[in-house]
Amino acid sequence: MKILKEVIRKNIRVMAVFAVMVAANATIFALYDIITEPMIYAVILTFVVMAVIFAIDLISENRKRNRRMSVLSSVASEWRNLPDAESLAEEDYIEIINALGELMEKVYDEESSDKQDMIDYYTAWVHQIKTPIAVMRLKLSDDTPEHHALLIELSRIEQYVEMVLQYIRIGSGTNDLVIREYDLDTLICESVRKFAPQFFEKKLQLIYEKTDATIVSDRKWFICILDQLLSNAVKYTSAGSVTISVKDSVLRVADTGIGIAPEDLPRIFEKGYTGTNGRIENRSSGLGLYLAKKAADLLSIRISAESVIGKGSTFILDLTQERVR
């Protein structure tokens, strides 16, 4: 319908002139009492010719519109392949589009270069900072309360440094997935060991029953998810326990912490969203659960949460897509 209207609009003047000429000729023939049969034939012949031209124009316009729609669907790469201009105005518009396309490519190249420089810098920083952290850990080898407290803080620093690296990797498009079968218990224990000092410091009980399940996934990103869920559980639980359970291809991490407000629950996986707890505790970046969600999406794991204020929260990983056995 849009194409038909466009063709009519383009030819409206010709059609109007044709109608005026037919009316004028008919009037003249009538005034001079001239036989109208030849004029009728001429009008019919002219009408047929105009109809053919109109149909050809309609088909041509339809092809050009399809070509434009094809370019529109992938404009970032196809903006140079616009249909040839058939008027001065179309030629000007194509020049404008070409200028904008070249500007877009220039901005994109500059942005990509800046982003890569940032990724390279932070990746190097993360690897460099690990050396003094390792040295500090060696220095804090004495079995004293002060050293234990400092080791716990050092463990937190290591977690935050690792989170920086994970955040960079997941946003860079180079996630280097290595998919293979893993023992689920091994992955869970590896993540739990990182938080052992914090469990000890806060006197939290860890409830976990060994599972014989295996999972086909990427080790690095799956542990990243577990790390973020355990970090949250320990951070917001001052007393009680953290429970890890696996049943029917579903892994749950439950705590007895402060819980999540109902109005915050739908938004906890949003980037930078800290919610009521983050504002009260004043130690939330709003990136941990966002990173867990991004990693879960990467591995086709459905992640969700349930919570009751004052009673705790449960984070649920549906591992059906990961083929838990």
pLDDT in tens, 208-242: 999 999 999 999 999 999 999 999 999 899 999 99
Closest CA to 186 of 225, 223, 239: 223
The whole model's pTM is what?
0.63
Q: Could you tell me the residue ranges of all domains in the chain?
A: 2-83, 106-176, 180-322
Who has greater pLDDT, 243 or 50? Answer: 243
CB 261 within 8 A of CB 279: no
CATH of domain 180-322: 3.30.565.10
Residue 191: pLDDT over 70? yes
Q: So what's the pLDDT on residue 292?
A: 92
CB 7 within 8 A of CB 58: yes
Q: So what's the pLDDT on residue 251?
A: 96
Average pLDDT value over all residues in the chain: 84
Q: So what's the pLDDT on residue 316?
A: 96
Q: What is the four-CA torsion angle of 182, 184, 188, 191, rounded to 10 degrees?
A: 10
Q: Is 220 helix (H, G, I), strand (E, B) or coil?
A: helix
In the numeric block, the tokens 């390279």 are attached to: 120
d(CA 238, CA 234): 8
Q: How many other C-beta atoms lie within 10 A of the C-beta of residue 244?
A: 21
Closest CA to 287 of 272, 300, 299: 272
Q: Is 53 helix (H, G, I), strand (E, B) or coil?
A: helix
The stretch 157-175 carries a mean pLDDT of 76
Angle value at C-alpha 54, between 46 and 45, nearest 5 degrees? 15
The stretch 247-274 carries a mean pLDDT of 90
Q: So what's the pLDDT on residue 309?
A: 92
d(CA 75, CA 81): 9
Closest CA to 171 of 267, 287, 265: 287
Q: Which two tokens stand for residue 54?
A: 């109109």
**Interval 66-99: pLDDT, tens:** 877 777 777 777 777 777 777 787 788 888 888 8
In the numeric block, the tokens 């030819």 are attached to: 11
